[in-house]
Every structure is written in structure tokens, then in C-alpha cells.
Chains A and B, each alone.
Chain A
Amino acid sequence: MNTRRVTLCAALLVLLILGVAPIALMFARSLSVNGAFSLESYQHLLATGRSWQLLSNSLGLAMITAVICTLVGLPLGLLFAKTDLPLRRVFVLLFTLPLVIPPYIMAVSWSDTLAPHGLASSFFGPATTQKLSGLLFGSPGCVLVLASTFMPAVMLATMTFTRTINPRLEEAARLSARALRVLGGITIPLIWPGVLLAATLVFLLALGEFGVPTFLRYQVFAVESFTQFTASYNFGAATAAAVPLALLTFLLLGIEWFALREKIQPLRPASESDSNYHVSLRSYRVPLFALVSILCAIVVLTPVLSLLLQGGSTQSYLRAFRVVSDSLMRSIFLAAIGATALTALGFFTGYLIHTRGLSIWRAVDAGTVLLFALPGTVIGMGLITLWNRPATNFIYATPLIIVFGYLAQYTALTGRVTVAGLTLVPASMEEAAATVGANWMRRLGLIVLPLVKHALVAGWLIAYIFCLRDTGIAMLVYPPGYDTLPVRIFTLMANGAPSLIAAACMLMIAATVLPLLGVAALVRTQRRRRLWR
């Protein structure tokens, strides 16, 4: 076997051990009681009417969230990618903010906003605020929080796919039709499979989310599974409650894969000379700007401002920092380690998928996406099933288990970013190096890696954000004394002071956003330098 094949097989093995094995073992264990085959856990689950109620709540919440995200995210994505709307880059950053922080933080902030002395009360008065607050705790509140959190996924997907359309297709239509008709007749149908994929991911993310429904007291399967595990330590029941989520994920992604695999347009590398098709909003520019500003103020700025105010004075923030600093530092450290490992594993899986390096490249691609779409709690329970045993305690009892969880769930992110980066590199680059006698490792290190370095940096950042915001995996597997900041805030929510929770949430937001702003500033400086040259 050559080095290339051995390396790709090793990457595949890591994925199998860290991602597939825990889920398979968890499922197998849910089918046995005292070592014998039994469907008792499932019988118990299906026997109660409560299960069907949970299922309908879960599906309803996920469906409404996905529909709202598509209805809002698609037009916003088109506005930001295709038009001359003022401040569109700032809007993209602001609307993306909720996606990069743990969803339950948005729930906390909305709860603060609608509290008796919260921000909303000073605008609408106590009576209206009380009514709104009543709506927050239940399905409308869950929909509001999850839709504002996951909407950026559809918005960003719309922007990405829109930019990969050959602009000539839209210009050809523009010769005979108005801009709006071109969007409706050409642009949207071309990006629709990609948007549908993003909407499906939103559906699955909402289906597996447990933090928001727990905080807003709405009973869904993800909460049931989490509660069975943490409160009752009933592993069988917890697994049985998690399996419907996993099966739904399998089913939906399977349908999506078969229905859309030929329809998603391949990413077209944008050439420097390509002038992307843009729509001038003309007289609609100001009204649309006002509309987007209002939406942004409601779904992003209000809750964040509310948290900031609830956090109190500088002293309160310093106090909060002292209380959560160990968790914060641990979170940043683990996220950095996780992102680095994910970048490495993602590079090899991405390379495997892009070059079709092994015959099962399609399965690897589908498998990583499936693991990404699975609820974090399901991955967490799988990890416990596999690693919680004396022989592997040297891993399970250390924060390494959290990093394993990150690798299991988020490889799809760095893998996909690598594939996107590799698409821009002509195969002839590596082939040219081969013809002059460079072996695979040398070709990879000296040709391919430098050419995809920007994609790898982007992948690292995305992975860092997802590791930092992760709650589901860390909540279930963190060893005693090694909690992360999202876990610490989540536990503080039960009995911590609201100002402390708000300040800790703001610290969490800062830890996520600051590195992003740092990289953005670095990229801007580099661009300016290049222009000066």
C-alpha cells in the first residue's frame, strides 16, 4: 500500500472509531437488557402517549423553525449577495452573530428582554411585556429563538450558492426580463437545491436542540433524552429517546441525498475577471434598508443589548469573569485544540472526497454530514457508551473525550471547506509535482497545502466557533472539574443570579467574536498591503 492510501485509510479509521462506532454501539446497547436482546426500552417509549406528544412537539418545532428560516433567510441572502443595499456586510455580520453562540444564550437574552424590568418593558409597558413573556415560555418562544439562531444558516447558504451561479445565466435572462423576474425565474430555481439542503440542516439542528426547549420549558424528544440521562441516569430510556432523533436524521438526509445529489450545481470557482450580476434596488433601496434594519434590531441587537444591560456594571463583569474564568480559558483552549485537530482530519477527509481517493468516498461524505446533523446529546451518549469503561478511562476521565466529541461531530465542516478550497486548485498542480519526482507527502506539503491555506484558516475558524459554542457533547461527557463555559452557564441558569448569567453570556459572545474580528482585521490589512504593492 502506498503512503497516500495508508494516510487516507488512517483518516477514515479515526472517523470510524470516533464517529461511527459510538453511535453504532449506542444503538446496539439500546436493543439489549442485561446482555440479552430486548426491545423493552422502545416498547416503554412507544407505550406512553407522552412519546407521541414529544414527537409531534419536536417535529412541529423543527418544521416551523425551518420554514421561517427559509422564508426570512432566502430573501436576506439574496439582498446581501445580489443587491446594492447599504451596509450589507455589516448586516451579514450582525445576522450571523446568533449562529456562532450557543442557542440557549439567545433564550436567556430574550428572557431578560421580556423580564418585568427588562428592555421591552420600557418600550411597551409592563402589561404587554407580561403577555409577551408568557408567549416566550412555550413553543412560540422556542420558534423565535431557534429561528433567529439558525436563520443565518439559510442566509449564508443562499449567499454562497448565489455567488457560484454563472453570472451569464442571469444576464441572459436580464436581456428580456426585469430584475425581480430574473431572481424568481433563474436565480432562485438554480440555488433552490442548496437552500433546501440548508433548510433541512436547520430542521435537524432544531430537532436536536435541547438547551433552548429546556430553558423555555417546552417538552421535546431532545429534552426527554437529556433529562432521562442526567436526572434519572436511565441510560436505556435516554438512548431509546435519542434513537428516533437519529433515525429521523438518517431518513431526512437519505431523502435529501437521493433527491438533490444531481441537482445541486457544482461550486464554480469565481474568476477575477467575472463581474457578478448585481441588481440595483433604486427606489426600493431606502425602504428595504429600513426593513432590514428593523429586523436586525429586533432579532439581534435587542437581545444582545438586553444581555449587556442585564450584565450590569464593569464590576459585575469583572466578578463574572472571576467566577467563570477557569471554564472560559478551558473552553478557548479546548476549542483551539479541537479546531486544530478538526482542520487536520477535515483536510484528509476533504482530500479523500475531492480526489475520490478511496472507493467509499461518497459514504465518507454522507457519513460526516450525518454525524454533523445528529444532536450533540446523541453523540455524547454514544461516546459514553464506547469510552466509559476501565480500559479507556485514561481518555474518558480527561478533557480529551470532549475533543473526541468535537472530531466526531464537526469533521463535516472542515472537510467541506477543504473540498471547496481544493476545487479551486487545478489537478494539474499536483500532477506537475508528480512528474518532477515529488512523492505524495512532498506534493501535499509543498504544493497542495500552501494552495489551500486560506481554506484551512477559514475551516479552523469555523471549527473553533462550533467547538466553543458546543453544549450538547460537553454537557454529557465533561469530566468532573473540566466543564466548558457553555456548560457552566447552562448549570448557572438553574440557580445563578441573572446578572451573573448575563455577564457570563456576554463573555461567551466576546470569546467567539473577538478572534473573528482579529482575523477579519488581519485579512483587511493583508489586502491593503497587496493593493499598495
Chain B
Amino acid sequence: MALIVFDCVSKAYSGQTALHDFSLTVEPGQRVAILGPSGCGKTTVLRLLAGFIAPDAGTISIDGQVVAKNGKILQQPEQRHIGMVFQDLALWPHLTVAGNLEFGLKAQGISKSERIQRINGILQLVEMDTYLRTRPAQLSGGQQQRVALARALVLRPKALLMDEPLSNLDEELNQHLRGELLRLHAQLGFTLLYVTHDRAEAVEIGTCVVRMRQGSIERIVSTEELKSR
């Protein structure tokens, strides 16, 4: 069964179309890269899936359950079990690394012992376990990326959404973190929706690439096909 289904979804902001008749199916464990120029509706796809906005028309389903339909949000963001890494990372500046990871776990009612175990586990995975008591402002750009990733993954989400998370980094660090992300995916097997405007990044991260233009899907191609061109 498909994990995520967008069925003829449309969305407009103040009369301006952001997404038009958008349909997409994502299988569990799949890595989907959404590629397109600025303003083509890539981020809107993620925001609709996360539950921050409602579609004007169409249906969105997660794990077989309709979560939003025709202008209505049927399932709130915290009930969807979706993780997200934002373009500006959105790490909470008043909380430590541990605090950033613990906030969601506490809100989900997870016991203290399990919280500690999960936080330590995921921080070891992203090699940030020595920074538990550090505040985000004291970390480098790459370290902040890892914490943002850990914060999203610690909740064991059904799908991880990433909105151009590496766009502000230099090429070397960008390359390194792409490798890290693929390693984590191989270890944890999460479903990934990765938004980018960089073709090379999309090809490296996605198992399939969704090309978007002016709010619609232009075409969906497998990475193999793209690489062979």
C-alpha cells in the first residue's frame, strides 16, 4: 500500500495558483526528490503534507488515511507522524540540543527512560552525542543540520520531509551531508521527500525525481534514467 497519496490537489495563495491538479504516490521507504525552479510549488507540497495548510481541492492521504480534503484539514500536524527539516532548520534557540530533541518526545507522551535512550541513540547516529547541552547558536552550520535531522528522526516519523536543507552550505559540506543522509536512510529505512532546485542533488538523493513547473508535475523520472542521459 502506498504511504503518501496526493490526489488532484490544488492550492492557491491570494488567487495565485501554487499547485494545480497535483497527483503523486509515494511508496514506503522510497526516496523522492522534488526538483524545480523557485516558486514552482515544491515547498507547498511539503507544507500540505505536513498539515500546515489545507488543499483548496483534492485529497491527501497518509498510510491509507485521508488527512486533508477539499479545504479541510482532517488530521492535525502532530497526528500525522511526519518529520520535517526546514530550509532555515528552525532549531529552537532557547533550548539545548537535547531540549530540541526532547520537546517532541515529551509532547508525544514518551517515558523519560525511552526519551533518553532515543535521544542518545539518534545523536550517536548523526555523530552529535557530545553536544547534548549545547545551544544551536554555538554549533557550526553542518552541526546544526545534523541536529535538525536528528530532531526529525528521533520521533520515528512515517516520512521525512526536507525543504532544501543543504542550500545554504558550501559545496564540500553539502556533498558530505548528502552522503550522511543516504547512510542514515540505509540504516533507518525512512520514506524521504526531498525538495531541491539542484539537479545533481536530486539525482544523488532521490530514487525517483519529480520535476515540477508552475504548480504541476512536468514529469516523473527514475534516477537511473536521469543518470543515463
Those of A258-307 within 8 Å (CB) of chain B: 265, 275
Give the CA-CA distance A468 to B9 in the complex, in Å: 55
Task: Flag if B53 contacts A176 (CB, 8 Å).
Answer: no
Task: Flag if A275 contacts B90 (CB, 8 Å).
Answer: no
A168, A171, A176, A265: the one contacting B104 at CB < 8 Å is: A176
Give the CA-CA distance A166 to B107 in the complex, in Å: 21
Interface presence of A169 (CB below 8 A)? yes
* Interface hit among B28-36, B78-86, B199-207, B216-224: B78-86
Count, chain B residues at interface, CB 8 A: 25
Task: Flag if B107 contacts A176 (CB, 8 Å).
Answer: yes
Those of A161-188 within 8 Å (CB) of chain B: 166, 168-169, 171-178, 181, 185-186
Contacts of B198 in A (CB 8 A): none
Task: Flag if A189 contacts B94 (CB, 8 Å).
Answer: yes
Contacts of B52 in A (CB 8 A): 171, 174, 275
Closest A residue to B161 by CB, please name it. Answer: A175
Task: Flag if B92 contacts A173 (CB, 8 Å).
Answer: yes
Known: A169-B92, A189-B94. A175 touches B86 (CB 8 A): no
Interface presence of A54 (CB below 8 A)? no
Count, chain A residues at interface, CB 8 A: 18
Those of B11-34 within 8 Å (CB) of chain A: none
Interface presence of A16 (CB below 8 A)? no
Task: Flag if A176 contacts B103 (CB, 8 Å).
Answer: yes
Interface presence of A94 (CB below 8 A)? no
Interface presence of B77 (CB below 8 A)? yes
Contacts of A265 in B (CB 8 A): 93
Interface presence of A190 (CB below 8 A)? yes
Instruction: Report A167 CB to chain B, min CB distance, Å.
Output: 9
Those of B78-132 within 8 Å (CB) of chain A: 78, 80, 82-84, 86, 88, 90, 92-94, 103-105, 107-108
Task: Flag if B103 contacts A175 (CB, 8 Å).
Answer: no
Closest B residue to A263 by CB, please name it. Answer: B94
Interface presence of B155 (CB below 8 A)? yes
Known: A175-B50, A186-B92, A189-B94. A168 touches B86 (CB 8 A): yes
Known: A171-B50, A171-B52, A172-B84. A177 touches B78 (CB 8 A): yes
Give the CA-CA distance A93 to B103 in the complex, in Å: 36
Interface centre among A174, A175, A185, A190 (most CB of B within 10 A): A175
Contacts of B83 in A (CB 8 A): 175
Give the CA-CA distance A337 to B80 in the complex, in Å: 58
Instruction: Report B189 CB to chain A, min CB distance, Å.
Output: 20
How would residues 134 to 168 of chain A score, 1 for a CB under 8 Å from any chain B CB and 0 otherwise?
Answer: 00000000000000000000000000000000101
Interface residues of A (CB under 8 A from B): 166, 168-169, 171-178, 181, 185-186, 189-190, 265, 275
Q: Knowing that A176-B104, A177-B103, A190-B92 are A-B contacts, what are 19 other residue pairs whose CB atoms are under 8 Å apart, sorted by A's residue number? A: A168-B86, A168-B88, A169-B92, A171-B52, A171-B77, A171-B84, A172-B84, A173-B107, A175-B78, A175-B152, A176-B103, A176-B105, A176-B108, A176-B155, A177-B104, A177-B108, A178-B78, A185-B103, A190-B93
A-B contact pairs, 21 of them (CB 8 A): A168-B86, A168-B90, A169-B90, A169-B92, A171-B52, A172-B84, A172-B90, A173-B103, A173-B107, A174-B52, A174-B78, A175-B83, A176-B104, A177-B103, A178-B76, A178-B78, A178-B107, A186-B103, A189-B94, A190-B93, A190-B94
Interface residues of B (CB under 8 A from A): 50-53, 76-78, 80, 82-84, 86, 88, 90, 92-94, 103-105, 107-108, 151-152, 155
